[in-house]
DNA sequence: TGATTCGCTTGCAAATTGCAAGTGAAAAGA
DNA sequence: TCTTTTCACTTGCAATTTGCAAGCGAATCA
């Protein structure tokens, strides 16, 4: 996978070449909003992603600078994944996907939550971005 | 394809089951922002989508109420596709995808345009939504 | 020291995609 | 009127991608 050979240079096309599949944004969701930060946790994330798919997407995300893989000094088997600034910047996209889907399909999102989200977009995004940033920082400070 | 058997009921997952592939949002882009409203125009849209893929996605979009297929009374061969309200409601999602991608990759989007988009999100979206609504209305009034 | 858990990888079948060609019906051109 | 072109697709098939199950070495736990 070479980062430089796009089908076309339209930003929507490039965005889709990076994220346009069934799994990528679900992984970002788990990293950003569910506190899942390692391979096992992401595997058990509820939508039954296969381990080779997860492995492949995490590698791509690293290539594209969307996540960073940290070594855990307490457990050398374990790797911890955190979102970079670029990964965190996907929050508005996820937000719009949630709102659009919940508007037109029955989903598991609690109506109360949705109402809050819709009426406080900015503060909702700020909160999510702050917590994601905190998670990233806590890892990188561990050397 | 049955609309009711989702892998999970998370809104992000459902959204991805509807839109999560390489082509769907490109078709929406062409319908919404490029004035392409028929099969041929969408085929020649620049990213070389195969006709069977286009056909398949248009059918799914109709199922999900994202587009409507109109008969052209002046040319009975021709069908005209327009976005429904649900389709038009994808504008914010496309907006965030454009902004995110252009922020982190070199794209063909003119920097001036991007600056405007970023600083006038609301008016940019209103404009796009208004023109998409006008296109839909002009078709449905033709009976 | 033996079992378990970690993050993967491998092999293979099944599903999806991409490509090229073809279809019938309608319209346009001679 | 007859031929050619254009329309929105469909079909058949090869290539790629995905999903599933099992397996791997290294690290940790009991």
Residue B81 contacts residue B69 (beta carbons within 8 Å): yes
- Write out residues 47-86 of B within 8 Å (CB-CB) of A: 47-48, 64-65, 86
Please, what is the average pLDDT of chain B?
95
Give the Cα separation of A69 and B77 in Å (integer).
55
Report if CB A51 to strand D is under 7 Å: yes
pLDDT recorded at residue A143: 58
Instruction: Please give the average per-residue pLDDT across B131-137, as a whole number.
Output: 96
**A58-78 per-residue burial string, b: 16 or more CB within 10 A, e: under 16:** bebbeebebbbebeeeeeeee
pLDDT tens by residue, A55-77: 999 999 999 999 999 999 999 99
The CA distances from residue B77 to B38, B40, B70, B74, in Å, are 11, 12, 11, 9
HEC sequence for A9-59: CCHHHHHHHHHCCCCHHHHHHHHHHCCCCCHHHHHCCCCCCCHHHHHHHHH
pLDDT recorded at residue A4: 60
pLDDT recorded at residue A2: 45
pLDDT recorded at residue B18: 98
Say how far A76 CA is from D25 C1', in Å: 13
Say how far B23 CA is from D3 C1', in Å: 38
Say how far A77 CA is from C7 C1', in Å: 7
- Write out residues 85-114 of A within 8 Å (CB-CB) of B: 86, 89-90, 92-109
Count of C-beta atoms within a 10 Å radius of residue A125: 16
Nearest to B27 by CA among A138, A110, A128, A20: A20
pTM above 0.75, yes or no: yes
Instruction: Please give the average per-residue pLDDT across B17-45, as a whole number.
Output: 97
Please, what is the average pLDDT of chain A?
94
Nearest-10 Cα torsion for A86, A87, A93, A97: 170
**Cβ-defined contact of B20 to A25 (cutoff 8 Å):** yes
**Cβ-defined contact of A90 to B101 (cutoff 8 Å):** no
Instruction: Please give the average per-residue pLDDT across A72-97, as a whole number.
Output: 97
| Secondary structure class of B68 (helix, strand, coil) | strand
Count of C-beta atoms within a 10 Å radius of residue B31: 27
Residue B142 has pLDDT above 90, yes or no: no
Residue A1 has pLDDT above 50, yes or no: no
Asked if A8 is an interface residue toward chain B (Cβ–Cβ < 8 A), one would say yes
| Secondary structure class of B80 (helix, strand, coil) | strand
pLDDT tens by residue, B58-105: 999 999 999 999 999 999 999 999 999 999 999 999 999 999 999 999
Q: Tokens 């009976």 correspond to what residue?
A: B143
pLDDT tens by residue, A9-61: 999 999 999 999 999 999 999 999 999 999 999 999 878 999 999 999 999 99
Residue A104 has pLDDT above 80, yes or no: yes
- Which of strand C's nucleotides are less than 7 A from any protein C-beta? 5-11, 16-22, 24-28
**Cβ-defined contact of A8 to B47 (cutoff 8 Å):** yes
Q: How confident is the model at residue B4 (pLDDT cuts 50, 70, 90)?
A: low
pLDDT recorded at residue B2: 45
């Amino acid at each position: 996978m070479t980062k430089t050979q796009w089908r076309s240079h339209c930003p929507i096309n490039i965005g889709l070449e990076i994220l346009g599949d069934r799994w990528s944004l679900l992984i970002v969701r788990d990293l950003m909003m569910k506190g899942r930060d390692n391979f096992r946790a992401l595997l058990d994330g509820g939508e039954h992603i296969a381990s080779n798919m997860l492995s492949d997407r995490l590698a791509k995300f690293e290539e594209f600078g969307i996540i960073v893989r940290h070594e855990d000094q307490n457990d050398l088997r374990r790797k911890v994944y955190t979102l970079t600034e670029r990964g965190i910047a996907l929050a508005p996209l996820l937000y719009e996907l949630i709102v659009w889907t919940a508007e037109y399909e029955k989903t598991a999102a609690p109506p109360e939550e949705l109402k809050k989200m819709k009426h406080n977009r900015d503060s909702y995004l700020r909160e999510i971005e702050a917590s994601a940033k905190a998670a990233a920082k806590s890892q990188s400070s561990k050397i």
